[in-house]
Amino acid sequence: MQQTQQGNNYALCCLKRARIQQASLYNVSLNKAKKRWVQLMGQSQDLISKHNFRRERKFNMAKKEIKQLKNYYNDQLSQILISIDEQLIKNNQNIQDFIKLENKQIFELNEKQVEKKIDLLSQKDKNIHLLEQQEKQNRLDYLFYQNIKSKLKYLIKHDLFCKQKLMKILKEQQENHINQVLIPFPPCHIYK
């Protein structure tokens, strides 16, 4: 009976010893899991920070491009509007000068103006001078509009170039998003 009791005690000791080992393994495994969790959280924070930094950098690049485009367009379009106003004023001034000359009395004119008036009066078609001046103005206007047209074409080309740059930024952003693979974490074997 003593042997049976010793055998039972031995079995009981082995069972207790196995439970103690299992508990210590469990504690070790929980400690490993806790360390891995902390590591996972650290890596996650790093990934989030890096992603936000890249995202902010891309948005700032796009914002900078758009602001430069806006300033460039505003400058170019303002210059075009100013030149249109100047062209209109110049044309009106030429017409006003002609009308002033027409309204002056002959004794108020200088020698050159008198010659010009005599020239006008001696022509068969009295309005030919005015028609010639208008034709000349039409040619100048045509050249002026061609200049504006070429400037607007250049702005359109510039616009397309800027769109391409913005699309490239967007494409890079999408590729980074697609290619961005989470850093693989080591497998979590809690009971190893």
**Residues 6 or more apart from 144 whose CB is under 8 A from it?**
83, 87
Q: Alpha-carbon distance 57 to 62, whole Å? A: 9
Predicted confidence (pLDDT) at residue 187 exceeds the cutoff of 50:
no
- What pLDDT was estimated at residue 25? 56
- What pLDDT was estimated at residue 35? 86
CA-based end-to-end distance of the chain: 40
**Residues 6 or more apart from 32 whose CB is under 8 A from it?**
190, 192
Look at 89 and 105; give whichever has higher pLDDT: 89
Q: Alpha-carbon distance 179 to 186, whole Å? A: 20
The pLDDT of 13-27, averaged and rounded, is 61
Q: Alpha-carbon distance 34 to 95, whole Å? A: 91
Q: Alpha-carbon distance 91 to 4, whole Å? A: 127
| All structural domains of the chain with their residue ranges | 2-179
The one-letter amino acid at 46: D
- What pLDDT was estimated at residue 188? 42
Tokens 């000359």 found at:
101
CB 106 within 8 A of CB 114: yes
Tokens 């992603």 found at:
51
Predicted confidence (pLDDT) at residue 144 exceeds the cutoff of 50:
yes
Q: Alpha-carbon distance 17 to 183, whole Å? A: 40
C-alpha dihedral sign at 133, 136, 140, 142: positive
Per-residue pLDDT tens digits for 39-83: 888 988 998 898 889 888 888 887 888 888 889 889 988 998 998
Report which of 23, 41, 9 is spatially closest to residue 183, judged by C-alpha positions. Answer: 41
